[in-house]
């Protein structure tokens, strides 16, 4: 009887089972705390699938990510996992890139092929990031297992710094980021922030799942600091998106967001604790698996014939 409790969502204009919403929020919050991603790339399609209008799903999702990322950032801050200095530099880059990206989308829409560009970019980015992370972290796990077996009998051979490492150390304006334990040029996180901001606005997401691999592979930050710092940045992005959507499109359903955020904030706390127990390679394999699954789903929707050729405007 209690499981039949439905909640009418005022802006979405439909009613949804309360426990279904709590379940979805909890799972996405868990992933958010575990990997430092906002979860928008997962939750928005799931909400559309259960009957929420696409525009309301995307806007309300940003609202709930505000809570999940606030909760997750706080949890990671207490664990010493947030690099505020790096987060701020990336955020400034992200805002510049995001603004430029919005104009780019406008031009693409006027040209009439925005949908094609958005979907193909999505699949390509998810495919490249997911595959690279998956393979790299798998080989990392294998290396660790071999090391255990050989009980580190041999000393590792020092190869010297790679071409990429030499390149970034030669860039001007080198700055220390003590929390991440790295020294790099200020330009690098700024440029990467702009790049992710452009991609995020083309794809219509917060960009956590692009930012995390960028921090791990290009900025060489430790995985646990990456998660906390990514959440810190996602928080500000989603505050901006929520206010803009509520002001311009009136599509934020606070009741939907509230239900999701109670569950997702709790999930984020559990995720943050779990992330301490798993090692970096295990975390990366799991995230890569999820990214690849989403990519396959998107690829299937591009290649397989839909059951209905019509849909309400606003969907992906």
Partner 1 sequence: MPRWFASVILLFLLLLFFSFSTGSEDLDPSLSNLKMDVEPSDIKIGLFYHGAKVAVTAFTSKGLDVVIRCEGPEQEMKLMRKGRVGGMWMNVEEILVEKLPAVYLLRSSAPLEEIADQETLEEHGLGYAALQARMKLHRSKEKSLPIFDDLIQLKEKDRLYEISQGNIQVSDLEVWPIFQIKSFFDLPPKVPIGTYRIDVLGFKKGAPVALGTYTLEIAKVGFVSFFSSLAANRGLLYGCVAVILAMLCGLGIGILFSSRSGH
Residues binding partner 1 (CB under 8 A): 5-8, 10-11, 13-15, 51, 63-64, 66-72, 74-75, 78, 115-116, 119, 239, 242-248, 250, 252-255, 257-258, 261-262, 265-266, 268-269, 273, 301-306, 308-315
Angle at 311 between CA 307 and CA 315, to 5 degrees: 115
Task: Select 6 or 100, whichever has its Cβ closest to partner 1.
Answer: 6
56 touches 253 (CB < 8 A)? yes
Please provide residue 6's backbone torsions phi and psi, each rounded to the nearest 5 degrees. Answer: -110, 150
Task: Select 24 or 219, whichever has its Cβ closest to partner 1.
Answer: 24
In this structure, the dihedral spanned by the alpha carbons of residues 137, 141, 147 and 151, taken in order and rounded to 10 degrees, is 140
284-298 residues labelled b (16+ CB within 10 A) or e (exposed):
bbbbbebbbebbeeb
Q: CB of 117: closest distance to partner 1 in angstroms? A: 10
Give dist(CA 44, CA 60) in Å, integer.
9
Q: CB of 131: closest distance to partner 1 in angstroms? A: 20
Give dist(CA 63, CA 53) in Å, integer.
16
Task: Select 1 or 170, whichever has its Cβ closest to partner 1.
Answer: 1
Task: Select 92 or 243, whichever has its Cβ closest to partner 1.
Answer: 243
Q: CB of 283: closest distance to partner 1 in angstroms? A: 20
Q: CB of 157: closest distance to partner 1 in angstroms? A: 42
Q: CB of 36: closest distance to partner 1 in angstroms? A: 15
| Alpha helices (H) along 112-180 | 114-150, 163-169
CB atoms within 10 A of CB 111: 9
Task: Select 159 or 247, whichever has its Cβ closest to partner 1.
Answer: 247
Q: CB of 23: closest distance to partner 1 in angstroms? A: 17
Give dist(CA 5, CA 236) in Å, integer.
34
How many C-alpha atoms does 43 have within 13 Å on its Cβ side? 36
Work out whether the CA dihedral 99, 211, 72, 178 comes out positive or negative: negative
31 touches 42 (CB < 8 A)? yes
287 touches 281 (CB < 8 A)? no
Task: Select 123 or 182, whichever has its Cβ closest to partner 1.
Answer: 123
Q: CB of 298: closest distance to partner 1 in angstroms? A: 11
Q: Two tokens at 4?
A: 């039949």
Task: Select 74 or 177, whichever has its Cβ closest to partner 1.
Answer: 74
Residue 16: strand, helix, or coil: strand
Size of the chain in residues: 316
Task: Select 112 or 156, whichever has its Cβ closest to partner 1.
Answer: 112
Q: CB of 230: closest distance to partner 1 in angstroms? A: 16
């Amino acid at each position: 009887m209690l499981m039949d409790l439905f909640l009418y969502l005022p802006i979405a204009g439909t009613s949804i089972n309360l426990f279904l919403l709590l379940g979805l929020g909890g799972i996405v919050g868990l992933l958010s705390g575990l990997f430092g991603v906002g979860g928008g790339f997962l939750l928005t399609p799931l909400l559309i699938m259960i009957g929420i209008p696409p525009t309301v799903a995307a806007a309300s999702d940003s609202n709930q990510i505000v809570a999940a990322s606030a909760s997750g950032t706080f949890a990671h801050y207490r664990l010493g996992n947030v690099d505020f200095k790096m987060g701020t530099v990336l955020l400034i880059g992200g805002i510049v890139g995001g603004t430029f990206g919005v104009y780019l989308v406008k031009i693409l829409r006027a040209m009439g092929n925005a949908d094609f560009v958005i979907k193909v970019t999505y699949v390509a980015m998810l495919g490249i990031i997911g595959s690279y992370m998956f393979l790299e972290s798998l080989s990392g796990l294998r290396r660790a297992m071999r090391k255990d077996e050989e009980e580190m009998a041999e000393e590792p051979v020092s190869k010297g710094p790679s071409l990429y490492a030499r390149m970034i150390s030669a860039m001007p304006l080198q700055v220390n980021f003590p929390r991440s334990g790295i020294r790099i040029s200020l330009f690098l996180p700024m440029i990467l922030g702009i790049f992710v901001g452009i991609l995020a606005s083309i794809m219509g997401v917060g960009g956590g799942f692009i930012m995390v691999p960028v921090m791990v592979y290009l900025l060489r930050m430790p995985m646990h600091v990456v998660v906390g710092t990514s959440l810190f940045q996602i928080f500000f992005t989603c505050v901006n998106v929520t206010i803009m959507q509520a002001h311009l499109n009136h599509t934020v359903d606070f009741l939907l967001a509230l239900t999701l955020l109670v569950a997702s904030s709790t999930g984020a706390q559990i995720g943050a604790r779990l992330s301490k127990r798993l090692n970096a390679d295990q975390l990366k394999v799991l995230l890569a698996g999820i990214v690849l699954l989403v990519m396959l789903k998107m690829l299937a929707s591009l290649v397989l014939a839909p059951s209905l050729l019509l849909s309400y405007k606003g969907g992906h």
